[in-house]
Structure 1
Amino acid sequence: MILTHTPSTSKQRQEHRLLVSIRFAVVLHAIRHPNSNPMESERVQQRLLDLEQHLFFNHATQLFHQQFVGRSGELGHEYSLYVDPRSGKASVSKVSSQNISHLALA
């Protein structure tokens, strides 16, 4: 998981800060609305927009690209982050036993 990796460059620190803010927004939303989709939260959507803008103006680090671009990467133990390689759109989903096979294929 990228959040356990200690960032060593300024670009990695920017991505780490964005990932932490997304995870924090997702966790807060889950506390307030336990069974809802994290994408319904305006705060989560704003944090994802910040990440999308960062990726639009900057190339992703190799570690970020390997874990999140074109595949669902772990964003904590219960959530995953997916960045579409064509459009650059980011989305968060909750990992459950029902969608674990879908996430592996994405």
Structure 2
Amino acid sequence: MILAKVHTTPKQRDEFRLLVAIRFACLMALAKGHTDPMDCPRVQVRCAELVKHFAYHHPSPAFYRQFIRHTGELGLNFCLRFTEPLQGLYGKVMVWRNDSQAVTNVHPLHTLTTVTPVGR
């Protein structure tokens, strides 16, 4: 959705604006040294704007396919997931880093180099 080139409806344009604001806030959070973007107050405010938007407007089919009940990409380095509310109006938005630096429980694999003795 965020990488779509043509937003055909006003609903998609509103969602695009909110997603870009969240992505920019996440990039600024990384620049300020936050390892988890949800720790940044700016990201929390932007996510609250998206939650408020969906409290009063239904998501577009493109947003629904990518971010609701799924984890969708928010650019190259971030993922976003919107959880619909079971009761009430407000759902929940979660944003996290999607790069290998954010994953702490996975050991990076390196290629092994074999050394052959010289002269053989």
TM-score, length-normalised on structure 1? Answer: 0.85
Alignment-derived partner of residue 72 in structure 1: 71
What runs of 5+ residues in structure 2 fail to find an aligned partner?
105-120
Give the CA RMSD over aligned residues: 1.5
Q: Greater relative contact order: 1 or 2 (C-alpha under 8 angstroms, separation 6 or more)?
A: 1
Aligned ranges for residues 1-106 of structure 1 at < 5 Å? 2-5=1-4, 6-33=6-33, 36-87=35-86, 88-97=91-100, 98=103
What runs of 5+ residues in structure 1 fail to find an aligned partner?
100-106
Aligned residues between the structures: 97
Q: CA deviation at 1:96?
A: 3.6
Identity value in percent = 35
Return the letter of the residue paired with 2:11: K
Q: Which runs of 4+ in 1 moved over 2 A?
A: 96-99
Return the letter of the residue paired with 2:36: N
